Amino acid sequence: MTQFTPEIARATIAHVIPIQKKLQKQLGTAFVFLGDEIYIMAGAELPPARHYRDFPQIENGVGMVRTFLNQFDAALKKKPVKTNARGTICTGKVFYPYLNECVERLGGDLRVVAVESRFWGSGIGVAGLLTGSDFIQGLRGNVHGDFVVLPSESMIGDDYLFLDDLTLKDVERELGVEVLPSGYAAGDFVEILADR
């Protein structure tokens, strides 16, 4: 398989835009949506929320970054937050710059860490595919503060199970600090940090 590069990402966007415009006129929707990581890899601006209509592919990461950014802004407008929390917040390489910028707005002594996927390989940059062992390997001896927040998208079920069959409690035991799920909406994430 050909490795995706910034050049290929830019070419893909350039190829898809005319198709989206044509379908928008014909169907009233762009119909063809690109994953967030393509825009990010290309260094292109993320489309506005209206581009995604009702976000039909959000579970596949299509519009997930835009949704988080909009929800984060709305959460801070509703309830301005400045936290005194001291902790570590984890995500994948793709979302790291966006999450880091948001976290800086909250104040506190918070460090955002881009965790590398060792389980699937370094070509994986999305938080939803990170495993418990990825978080343990990426954070062991490198935890800042007295808690860690991990992306809920990387876990399923009441036991907070990762794709490698480790649980949130397994990661907590290995790291020796409290480990919290981020929540699925930016408002939940803000509340978690506001309450620290």
Could you give the CA distance from residue 29 to residue 136 in angstroms, rounded to a whole number?
Answer: 42
Total tally of structural domains belonging to the chain? 2
C-alpha radius of gyration, the chain, whole number:
18
113 domain residue, yes or no: yes
Q: Residue 58: what pLDDT? A: 66
Mean pLDDT of the chain: 89
Closest CA relative to residue 88, chosen from 103, 74, 78, 72:
103
102 shares a domain with 78: yes
- Residue 36's domain comprises 6-62
Domain boundary among 41, 62, 83: 62
Say if residue 153 is in the same domain as residue 136. yes
Both 92 and 134 in one domain: the answer is: yes
In a domain, 1, yes or no: no
For residue 81, give the 3-state DSSP assignment.
coil
Tell me, what's the pLDDT at 75? Answer: 92
- DSSP β-bridge partners for residue 109: 86
80 and 174, same structural domain? yes
pLDDT digits (tens, 9 = 90+) for 74-119: 999 888 787 888 999 999 998 999 999 999 999 889 999 999 999 8
Who contacts 43 (Cβ-Cβ below 8 Å, separation ≥6)?
Answer: 6, 10
- For residue range 23-79, what is the model confidence (pLDDT) as tens digits? 989 988 888 889 888 898 889 998 888 888 777 676 766 778 888 999 999 999 888
Please tell me whether residues 78 and 165 are part of one structural domain: yes
Q: Are residues 128 and 93 in the same domain?
A: yes
